[in-house]
Structure 1
Amino acid sequence: MKKIILLTALTISLVSCGNNKKDKEASSINIDGSSTVYPVTEAIAEEYRSVDSDVDVTIGVSGTGGGFQKFGRGETDISNASRPIKEDEKKIAESNNIDFVELEVAYDGLAVVVNPENDWVDCFTVEQLRKIWEPSAQGTITRWNQIDPSWPDEEIHLFGPGVASGTFDYFTEAVVGKSGSSRGDYTASEDDNVLVQGVSGDKYGLGFFGLAYYEENADKLRMVAVDGGEGCVEPSTETVSNGTYAPLSRPLFVYVNSSSVQNNPKVVDFINFYLDEAPSLLKDVGYVPLTSEEYKEQKEKFNAFVEKHQK
């Protein structure tokens, strides 16, 4: 009789442990990827946690490329991205039987910044930025007066995102003409705070990163306008949303894993919450929301994806 009771108790214990593990997995949402999209997703996640405190939303920052590597291996539910997924990244996901949906969640501008003590440049043409950042500039374009003879005969000290960053990909494509095409002799970091510190501490510093990070650190930096061919324009909510800040404005994305949609209803809840709440929260973190019609389209796209994978 004692053996039967013990076996029954053990069985109940094992079933309970199994259910607890399953419940714990189902109440976790794992996100990684772009440092640029991180503040958007973190703001949404913070609000979501106040609505559903049982869900553990964790957000890593390994860059858009690093995030896609994890996403393609099935290690994350959602991937933050500041550029569209590349073909080789798609293939990794396909090889692991992972389908996904791409959703636009915000717009962002890239800010070109200098030290506040820089009193010689107020606007860069795209051609000048290309001359500074193209691969052939490495070791040859090293001083400010090589860009404009009226500027100081002093070294340019460059700061920018690393090669795993979607911001790096976007900037090089928009300015140099080819994604990933850049000089290599600059201070690179996936952490935008490192770039802010670098430029803010160097009179001859020059860098670029997402507009939201500039706005968080406007007291330490000075933003430079960009002339894309129609005159000098500074990035702002208005110029990013209406496209006049060209070519350095862009959409931001989240990607959602099909298996997460199938197995974790909290992921579906979170994404719907994300698309509903983004318009009201984005301005607080320095990003530009889509139009209400665009958010409606993204939600319809996501719901169609959910329906497809929950059949």
Structure 2
Amino acid sequence: MRVVMLGYQTWGHRTLQALLDSGHEVVLAVTHPRSDHAYEKIWNDSVADLARDHGVPVLLRNRPDDDLLLALKEAEPDLIVANNWRTWIPPEILALPRHGILNVHDSLLPAYAGFSPLIWALINGEDEVGVTAHMMNADLDAGDIVVQRAIPVGPHDTATDLFHRTVDLIAPIVTEALGLIASGRTDWTPQDRTRASFFHKRSVEDGDIDWTWTAEEIERLVRAQSDPYPNAFTHYRGERVRVLKASVSQGVYGGTPGRVFIREGDGIVIVAGAEARRGRSRGLVIERIRTEDGTDLPATEFFKTMGGYLTRRP
């Protein structure tokens, strides 16, 4: 098959590599220009560089335009494969390749369509995540499923752990999907749209800790914002403090959410949860922090005295 690839960052890079290794003819690669967005500077292996290294023509586009449509028509693809293409694809492009467009998305669709699915899934306490290859239609991440693979989420997994494990699924999933499509199969599995959910892009502000969340929820947020992602953060006495490592307390602590309360084990307990005033909530044990100047410290060295509050604003 003649294949065009639309993609960006490491997800797109892994997809293009799988296409190059597949034996099919990759006739064009389309990718976004590099961005200064905090999340788009992470996992940013270059699709353009990989394509050029293999003699594949490259187009840089932020969104589809008339020039891209013309280039796609001239490429005469049998199939377009997309992964981490960040903008809407118009109907005239959807209808262009005879086999359609195969999209690769790092969630178990129909859940977690949209952006940053691994981070949102970890925050929400999902017990598995995965990767789905599906045929695109007019609705974002809503087309029939061709191949889907899941991996379990462990109790200490970070978003970084899940990234590495799911990105390794891309090549085998793309290879399997290409084989099925090339064989003439079209009997794909429709998504159950009653189970669909759609999430927006993460921004730095989404890591601002809300101390009315339960300790369990905040602990997952900390793991979801692991390095190299922008870390979960809070403010203490006017200074932004990034939380690098935390756990749920053994003890039950009452009071006002955000209160710097007591030492437990290797960390400092912060009162957490909307019901904390009833004295029935676990606290969050902060174990390691990063100051605004980039210094990493044990929490016991940073919080030298008990008392005071962690807040969402300086």
| Greater helix fraction, Structure 1 or Structure 2 | 1
TM range (shorter): under 0.3
Higher relative CO (Cα under 8 Å, sequence separation at least 6) belongs to: 1
Q: TM-score, with normalisation over the residues of structure 1?
A: 0.26
| Greater strand fraction, Structure 1 or Structure 2 | 2
